[in-house]
Amino acid sequence: MKINGIIIFLILFFISSITQSGVYKHVDKLGNVTYSNIHVKDSEAVDLPSLTVVPAINSEAIGSIIKRRKESTRNEEQRSATEKQIFDESNRLEEIKSEFKGGTPDRLGSERNYQRYLDRVERLKGEITVREKNLQILEHNLQNSRDSNQ
């Protein structure tokens, strides 16, 4: 039994020494260079530099970082769009208020009928009210988006 164990050990040792081969460079008669892990006649061993092993990264952590960046970018885009809407709405409100002139807008040439003038005054009042509410809502949304990012 001991002899069989020794024989098996020697066989395994011999096989492991064979499998620990290196890299060999062989140049044939035509000048073709071949690299192989099998030693052939007239080939020379090549000493390769050691490999640098980079540890694997945690893909879940990278995924969460990418997700946070996308959310941040999306939030910034939404904030910018809301700020632009506020700017546009404020400009339009100022235009309407300047046309309204505190309730006594100038009569237009097409308003010979006084009722048309009164209808336009009411329309301007309503539009001012709607624009002011829109501005309040937009400013509230902008403040909420700022608060949620802090």
As a whole number, mean pLDDT of residues 89-118 equals 92
pLDDT digits (tens, 9 = 90+) for 43-57: 888 888 888 888 888
How far lies 134's CA from each of 34, 49, 61, 101, 137, in Å? 76, 69, 41, 21, 5
Question: In sequence order, what are the residues at sequence separation of 6 or more whose Cβ sits closer than 8 angstroms to the Cβ of residue 85?
Answer: 138
Q: What is the pLDDT of residue 21?
A: 60
Q: What percent of the chain has pLDDT over 70?
A: 88
Q: What is the pLDDT of residue 123?
A: 94
Residue 128, helix vs strand vs coil: helix
pTM over 0.75, yes/no: no
What's the alpha-carbon Rg for the chain, to the nearest Å? Answer: 41
How far lies 98's CA from each of 54, 106, 130, in Å? 68, 10, 16
As a whole number, mean pLDDT of residues 124-147 equals 92
Parse the chain into domains and list their residue ranges. 60-148
**The two structure tokens encoding residue 21:** 């081969």
- How far apart are alpha carbons 86 and 120 in whole angstroms? 25
pLDDT at 1 over 70: no
pLDDT at 11 over 80: no
